[in-house]
Amino acid sequence: MFSIVLFTLGPVMTNTYLIADDETGESVVIDPADEGKRIVNEAKKRGWRIGSIWLTHAHFDHLGGAAGVADAVNPPPPVALHADDYSLWRIQGGAAFFGMRIDPGPEPTIELHHGQVLHLGNHQLQVYHAPGHTQGHVMFHNPAEDILFCGDVVFQGSIGRTDLPGGDFSTLINSIHTQVLTLPDETRLLTGHGPETTVGEERKYNPFIQ
């Protein structure tokens, strides 16, 4: 079974997803926003090993817990990020713009690219490069389960902001049209902030993508 544990963490209520293959006990943290130790404890409680950290993008609110996860897991799980967000990662995900400082954790060593297939036990997730909110933003799609971890690309009734460095509105809208709305209506969208939604709901009701 493909399991998902949701945490909402950090100063701007970012969604962190601890995902696992129940059969093998392999797990991954998508966007460890904060409280790394708490995420690791939850995995331990369930008998899961955290093998990697996958970042949808390098904004500080999506990686503030990476250092805590790395400190509590031996060996520290490698961090995966798209190369176009490395420069953002190097400035702590823009934390200074918000008057904050974070420890970004271990340097990313897995370079994500569009079309790449990532393995989690017996499950496979595909990487979609979806720029616009940041240049190196990616989404993780599990086609067998009809689930898209879409980060800050699209939210219930809204879309990611594009006024921060590296953001571009028309690029984001294009990413949504070519990579989100092309998926079946029943596809679950597990977003970076707020409640989960579906492709069909957003196709119908999201005012930004009519």
Residues at the contact surface with Zn ion, assessed by CB under 5 A: 59, 61, 152, 192
Nearer to Zn ion, 35 or 152 (CB): 152
**Minimal CB distance to Zn ion: which residue?**
59
Q: How far is the CB of 24 from Zn ion (least distance, A)?
A: 30
Nearer to Zn ion, 59 or 141 (CB): 59
Nearer to Zn ion, 26 or 61 (CB): 61
Q: Which amino acid is at 87?
A: S
Q: How far is the CB of 185 from Zn ion (least distance, A)?
A: 25
Q: How far is the CB of 58 from Zn ion (least distance, A)?
A: 8
Helix, strand, coil percentages in the chain from 3-state DSSP, rounded to 5: 25, 30, 40
Q: How far is the CB of 154 from Zn ion (least distance, A)?
A: 12
Nearer to Zn ion, 59 or 129 (CB): 59
Of residues 73, 26, 28, 76, the one with CA closest to residue 53: 28
